[in-house]
Chains A and B, each alone.
Chain A
Amino acid sequence: MTRDETVGVLDYDAGNLTSVENALRHLGARWVLSPDPQALAGSDRLIFPGDGHAATSMENLRARGLDTLLRDFAARGRPILGICVGSQIVLESSEEGPTECLGLVPGICRRLPGGPDLKVPHMGWNAVHFEVDHPLVRGVPQDASFYFVHSYYTEPRAPAQVLGTTDHGIRFAVGFLKDTLATWQFHPEKSGEAGLRLVKNFLDWRP
């Protein structure tokens, strides 16, 4: 990212954004955090974070017109990074609600099955196996650990490309890529130095 670029961070009452701002500050980025699509429209790239419920998040996005902003950025080929719920609701639908989602990427979001010794939410550190060599994952050790907190997992379909997977009873995609939209299910902003590197890679990404 060049010095005069700006990252827009979507604020739609979906969890705590302080940690995203702290990571951006640490990396020397310039950012705008706002619930207002007009304030974000001039950004060079978007971070779409979120904790919480998929159906509620969709309602909040629509109420602010942020769904349109995301479609517009995707259509114009500007980079978008979805984190956690932001990685789930770019798909077509979610079992959480259930709700229709943004449909920017083919696929659906399903409930983690859980089981004996498999608590849901999947909360804590888990190893991520990167499935591709890509500028977004450069400099991060294979099978490095990242911090997860979620009860639903993403199941993207082609032409989306799976960036990484992890295992919690089942093996599932924890990051995917379609055109200029990339996602991480875990919280890179809360995953130590490996996570910060992923955020930096996104800021430097020129698709």
Chain B
Amino acid sequence: MLQKRVVVCLDVKEGRTTKGVKFQNNVDLGDPVEMAEFYYRQGVDELVFYDITASAEKRGIMIDVVRRVAERIFIPFCVGGGISSAEDIRSVILAGAEKVSLNSQAVKNPDLIRQAARMYGSQSVVLGMDALADPAMPSGYRVVINGGRTPTDLDALAWARRACDLGAGEIVLNSIDADGTKAGYELTVTRLLSEALPIPVVASGGAGTPEHLRAVLQEGRADAALVASMVHYGTYSLPQIKDYLAQHGVPVRR
């Protein structure tokens, strides 16, 4: 039976891991390569690195991080943030990442999803989507970009379906309402997308306790749950989270 994945997310700024609340007030957490290895030893199923480096000239630092991570951990990992061209996709994959995550750049240029899928296959292409509750939208959720700051005209479900048709093989669905709150994932939008889409949905935003993961993996029907601060600050360890999930009937890798 396919297991539910616990994914750890690391925000990387100029080669260092940071963590912010609602994309602001970033604090330094350490070396992303060492952190990746620590989580690998703890049994994490997958890692996501978001490059939040602001300046284009410092982006090369991220490729070096990706290369060093790939040499030291032997599980899949995904890289997102600022990927805007076929060349960016190629350099991330050749450095050793399994997957690229396309977010704002895919909204601005949807053809990027198709290009990436043609280059490396759908399994390598993740749509990163930030969704905000909005009753004016058909699905009740609006896509926002640029780290949650810029609303778009896109309906979350319609955009997810389109990305799927273009070749995205997975969606990381981040709820802007829940992000950084540690009050739990947004179950409604997660379930909506999980049930409507033929591809895996990774729930993101709001994780504070192992119970939050259980809820989004069972009630929210997510295929995977993304965590950040609850493990970065040592509040919970990966084995604690997985033990809790297993005890509550969620199939996980131990």
Interface residues of A (CB under 8 A from B): 15-16, 18-19, 22-23, 25-26, 51-52, 119-127, 145, 147-149, 167-168, 187, 189-193, 195-196
Contact = CB atoms under 8 A, between A and B. Distances in A.
B253 A19 contact: no
Interface in B188-206: 198-200
A148 B200 CA distance: 13
A16 B253 contact: no
Contact of B123 (A22, A26, A121, A196): A121
A88 to B, nearest CB: 14
A18 B70 contact: yes
B233 interface: no
B45 A16 contact: no
Interface in B1-46: 1-3, 5, 40, 43, 45
B2 A147 contact: no
A16 B93 contact: yes
B200 A123 contact: yes
Interface of B: 1-3, 5, 40, 43, 45, 70-71, 74-76, 93-96, 98, 120-124, 169-170, 198-200, 223-224, 253
Contacts of A191: 74-75
Nearest to A167: B1
Given A119-B199, A191-B74, A195-B74, A19 B98 contact: yes
Q: 4 tightest A-B contacts by CB?
A: A145-B253, A18-B96, A125-B253, A149-B123
A15 B253 contact: no
A168 B2 contact: yes
Given A18-B93, A51-B121, 20 more contacts: A51-B120, A51-B124, A52-B121, A119-B200, A121-B123, A123-B169, A124-B45, A125-B5, A126-B1, A127-B1, A127-B3, A145-B3, A147-B75, A149-B123, A168-B2, A190-B98, A191-B74, A191-B75, A192-B75, A196-B74
A95 to B, nearest CB: 17
Nearest to B1: A167
B3 A125 contact: yes
Q: Is the interface of A mostly helix, strand, loop or mixed?
A: mixed
A51 B120 CA distance: 8
A75 B153 CA distance: 61
A117 to B, nearest CB: 8
A18 B53 CA distance: 25
A19 B94 CA distance: 9
A40 B172 CA distance: 40
Contacts of A26: 71, 74
A124 B95 CA distance: 21
Nearest to A148: B2
A147 B224 CA distance: 14
B132 to A, nearest CB: 26
Contacts of B1: 126-127, 167-168
